[in-house]
Structure formats: C-alpha cells, structure tokens
Amino acid sequence: MSIDTVRYRTLLLQERERVERAIETLREDHAGRMDEEVAEIGAAHDNHLADTATVTLDREIDYTLEENSGRLLVEIDAALGRIEAGTYGTCATCGGEIAAERLDAYPWASLCIADARQAERR
C-alpha cells in the first residue's frame, strides 16, 4: 500500500485541533448568549415572541454544529486508530482502497466513494 500515513496523521491531528477549538467557541457563545437572553426576557416580558423564536432557531443551528463537530471528532479518532492498526485507507465495507483524492478532502473517511454514496442513500 502506498498511502502516506504520516502525512494523513498530521492532517487528522490538525483537523482535530480545529474542530476542538470550534466546539469550544460554540460553548463560549452559548454561555454569553444565555446571559443576554435572561436580561432581555426580564426587560421585554412576553410581547417579543418573534425575537425569542429567532434566538431559539439560532441556538438549534449551533447545537447541530456542535453535534456534528462531536461526531467528526469521533471519526477523526477512529481514523487515527486505523493508522495505528495499519488499516487506514481501506474501505470498511468492501475492503478496497479509498481514493487518495477522497482522503485528501476527508482524511477521516472510512468508506470508498461508492460505499459512502450507498450509505447516504440508506
């Protein structure tokens, strides 16, 4: 196998750091916004339903991001584990090689393009 695992390990570790920082930023953002909201509710009471709905929607989007980031961290760790195990770059479904262009774009990919598309359709 001709996969440069040293390079991909570096990519994965960089991505891991980036995602962790993003999650931290999101958490700090939540904390700040909570305080603002409490102040707002105290001042405006219940005739600002529209504003409240917007705030709720914003927060849902953030939670989704946080959830996705958390899932990405799990996948990055799994990929690092596959590098250690020597199975990195092998499709978990068909056992074929994952294309280098795919690993460059998604270093944590565990499926080849064909199997990833199939998994999405399920």
List of residues contacting Zn ion (CB under 5 A): 91, 93-94, 96, 112, 115
Judged by beta carbon, residue 43 or residue 105, the one nearer Zn ion is 105
Strand blocks (E) in the chain: none
User: DSSP states of 74-95 as a string?
Assistant: HHHHHHHHHHHHT-TTB-TTT-
Judged by beta carbon, residue 45 or residue 121, the one nearer Zn ion is 121
Judged by beta carbon, residue 23 or residue 98, the one nearer Zn ion is 98
Tell me how far, at minimum, the Cβ of 106 lies from Zn ion, in Å.
14
Tell me how far, at minimum, the Cβ of 62 lies from Zn ion, in Å.
34
Contact criterion met (CB below 8 Å) for 115 and 93: yes
Q: Hey, what are 29's tokens?
A: 């953002």
Tell me how far, at minimum, the Cβ of 77 lies from Zn ion, in Å.
21
* CA-wise closest residue to 68 among 96, 100, 26: 26
Judged by beta carbon, residue 12 or residue 91, the one nearer Zn ion is 91
Residue whose structure tokens are 């064909």: 114
Tell me how far, at minimum, the Cβ of 99 lies from Zn ion, in Å.
10
Contact criterion met (CB below 8 Å) for 104 and 89: no
